[in-house]
Structure 1
Amino acid sequence: MNIPLDTDLIVMAIWGLIFAIFVIKLFQSIRLVPTKSAYIVERLGKYHSTLDAGFHTLIPFVDKVAFIHDLKEETIDVPPQECFSSDEVNVEVDGVIYISVTDPVKASYGITDYRYAAIQLAQTTTRSVIGTLDLDRTFEERDVISAKVVQVLDQAGALWGIRVHRYEIKNITPPETVKNAMEMQVNAERERRALLAKSEGDKQSKINRSEGVKAETVNRSEGEMQRRINEAEGKAEEILTISRATAESIERLATVIAAPGGHNALRMQLGEQYFKQLDGLSQKNSRVVLPGNMVDFDYWMNSIGLTEEKPS
């Protein structure tokens, strides 16, 4: 009597389990896809559709979400790796990749792990590019290295359903011995530039002083030349003025002499000046030689041609 009862319980338990599984699958068939996400749906193991953002329902036991992709841009660290430059110097380089999924189907079925593949390709490309550059240029050509890595990753990303936005090198670390040598080189270059700047400053200072002395000398000579020109012009103007005044006075004197009574007036003035000169010489106790006939003043005047001609 107990065996049939146990069998019914087992059957009921099995149907209950089946119902629970069906309910769970039914709830799992309801999918809410967030923004900037993509769900890859497989039906009976084959790609069926890609679910975009929103509400979706699947067929239980037939459809399943095989891959979930985040379509936002993400960063992937590239681990440090050793690279040899063209001058055989070992440097350690690491970086970061900025990528995003553009084709969820290719990202699911085109490659097993696109993140790992992108890291490996970035490392190999970095090694090949640094191998063509000298150590000094590796620090200067970071943009060239990054551009080359992005170019190679873009070509591969077209098949993987991803897009590489940029690749940045974070650190390029040379060995300690090379770092010490580079520091010494930098210090030597700084000292050389300092000495060069000082010598250029001294040179410019001497040039400025010499130009100042030259300008001062030129200004002085030009000033002296202008002073002499002004003095000469002043003297010439003075001589010209005196000559004009003398000519004018002579002309007026001749006019006065030619006038009636002019000779007599001139004789009187000359006589007065003559006797004043004699008086001045006598007061100075000077020796004066006088003519023998002081009374005959007309004779002296006739000797200089200032006697008035009498009409015949």
Structure 2
Amino acid sequence: MITELNRLIDLVESHLSDEIDLARLSADLGTTEYHLRRMFSSLAGMPLSDYVRRRRMTVAATDIVAGDPALDVAVRYGYGSAEAFGRAFRAVHGSRPADVRTHGGPLRSQPRLRFRLTVEGSSPMDTRITDRPAVRLVGHAARVPLIHEGVNPHIQAHVASLPADEHARLKALGNTEPAGLLQVSTDVDPDYTEGSELTYLHGVAVDAGTHAPEDLDVIEVPAGAWVVFRSSGAYPAVLQETYAASATEWFPSNPWRLRPGPSIVAVLERADDFSTATTELWLPVERA
């Protein structure tokens, strides 16, 4: 995976002035665009689209300081007008092209990334691979913004809005793995952009033949392979660390890649105040 990501960085550098055919590159690298985007955002700490924009504006700033007309620079880097280029330039640098031409700055440069393998993984990850038949995820869904760290208040409010007896009704409906009450995230931005919207479902898993009550939302999940990470500790910090470690340690070391589908958290045990918990993180995968 490290080699593939560095080839992606090289491609970005050679296509700063035009569009990148990421689907073709992914196929050439023997992976998928979905997996490549998710791994990039997890390891780089930013979406691929943000990195491309920042690199373009970093290089474009050199042309502006050199005195090239703003419209020429805009066209060079794929913008249809000097106004559109100016907005993108200011979003990255915090200043207008005219100000930079006059004063030489301020500028916020994005260095070229280079991914390197470091020796980690001294603590083994509690992981299993399982093939599962088609299932239905049933419960209560809502659209919420993606938040990478800490408790998501929008999800918290959605779950808190459910009547107390609804949690017991849902739990009684579940009849297959993943077991228990589930936290399901789907329709997630492939770049995993902070603040982008996703669908969150609070519910349970039932087998494909089970009828779902009319008042519940349903997510149909086809048969396939899943990697399951089990973790225990402070909640949600340890769970979020496990998600990050899946990208930095597990996927680069194993012949599997992410495939489109929901990510599922099964809460197996928890403290009364939810300060600690034992969870399973289920991610849909396929052989690389």
The answer, yes or no, to whether TM exceeds 0.5 is no
Higher gyration radius (CA): 1
Per residue, is there more strand in 1 or in 2? 2
Name the TM tier (shorter chain).
under 0.3
Task: Compute the TM-score of the two structures, normalised by the length of structure 2.
Answer: 0.19
Structure-1-length-normalised TM-score: 0.18
The structure that is helix-richer by fraction is: 1
